[in-house]
Amino acid sequence: MGQSLLTPDLLHRLEQFQLLAARRAKSSARGERRSRARGQSVEFADYRNYVSGDDLRYLDWNLYGRLDRFFLKLYEEERELPVRIFLDASESMNFGEPRKFDFARQIAAAIGYVALCGFDRVSVVPFPDNPAVTAARGALRAVRGKKSSLQFFQNLHALTAGGPANLNEALRRGALEARRAGVAVVLSDFLDPAGYESGLNALVARGFQVNAIQILAPDELAPTNFGDLRLVDAETGAQQEVTFGKFRLKSYRQTVENFIQRLREFSASRGAHFFSVSSDTKLEDLLLKQLREAEVWK
């Protein structure tokens, strides 16, 4: 995969977007996101009665002229939105052509870039731990500002996938470690034998707005190999010999569709956005069409 995760043209188009948060940001750090805190930004919020000692600069003299009473103008303080991107870097993400992990990193780069342009605080949480993940984990935490984007992309590019999945553990730990809830994006194939339910539940319970993006390889959606096969689990090394004929393809596809549908319904029941895409999906279709139509950003 080339050094550049995203093309200059796509970066330019992404600069026009802003992540949407169903809940207003509660961070104490100033950013470009409206919160319920009352301050002195340019966004008008409300009026309140003047009391002795208030700053006279914020009196509404037009309203005084009409009502002969003093009212103070209130404004909405601007706050940053914490954005946490959970990136599955397990061995199963190395599968496929195009490789699932490469596509996941591109999505992470795009969502991170939109957040950085909006001066939101971005943290990428790769899992499970492996030497490359451990080395880059600190550098991918709490990144802020568009000026940080080049180093952000380089650190993402340096990540490699390997080891067994621990999806639930990673999401639960990420929910507990977060100082404040915000937007959570989960990039994974969700093929962890332990499931995904408790991890997603932990993020929702913590107050995150969750966006779950499932990435599967074309061969996982529609296998092209038939006959007597020896299947090897990429993460555990377990082997199983099977006979897979074309007549079983319909049954296999139905099993995959059922799995995706259960994940979709579970996400919807928790108020989470859910997307299932193939790793050969055109990146622009996902970012500029699907995520926009679902109002992940505007």
Can you list the domains of the chain with their CATH numbers? 8-25+80-293 (3.40.50.410), 31-78 (no CATH)
Neighbours of 61 (CB within 10 A): 9
Rounded to whole angstroms, how far apart are CA atoms 188 and 127? 10
Which of 42-56, 219-233, 275-289 shows the lowest per-residue confidence on average (mean pLDDT)?
42-56
3 state DSSP class of 269: helix
Between the alpha carbon of residue 158 and those of residues 58, 134, 165, 251, the distances in Å are 50, 11, 19, 39
Name the one residue in this structure whose structure tokens are 């509660």: 26
Between the alpha carbon of residue 287 and those of residues 11, 27, 41, 115, 129, the distances in Å are 11, 26, 31, 13, 28
Per residue in 125-157, pLDDT tens? Answer: 999 976 666 666 677 988 988 899 999 999 999
Q: Which residues contact 101 (CB under 8 A, 6 or more apart)?
A: 88, 89, 93, 94, 161
Among candidate residues 279, 238, 297, the one with its CA nearest the CA of residue 94: 279
Rounded to whole angstroms, how far apart are CA atoms 118 and 84? 14
Rounded to whole angstroms, how far apart are CA atoms 137 and 159? 9
pLDDT tier for residue 272 given thresholds of 50, 70 and 90: very high
Average pLDDT over residues 275-285: 97
Average pLDDT over residues 15-39: 57
φ and ψ at residue 81, rounded to 5 degrees:
-110, 120
Give the bridge partners for 47, in sequence order.
Answer: 73
Per residue in 155-190, pLDDT tens? Answer: 999 899 999 989 999 999 999 999 889 999 999 999
Rounded to whole angstroms, how far apart are CA atoms 37 and 56? 20
Arithmetic mean of pLDDT over the chain: 85
- Note whether 194 and 167 are within 8 A (CB): yes
Rounded to whole angstroms, how far apart are CA atoms 262 and 88? 20
Q: What pLDDT does 79 receive?
A: 63
Biggest CA–CA distance in the chain, Å, is 89
Query: Is it the case that residue 41 has pLDDT exceeding 60?
Result: no
Average pLDDT over residues 51-61: 80
Rounded to whole angstroms, how far apart are CA atoms 105 and 259? 23
Among candidate residues 190, 193, 123, the one with its CA nearest the CA of residue 156: 123
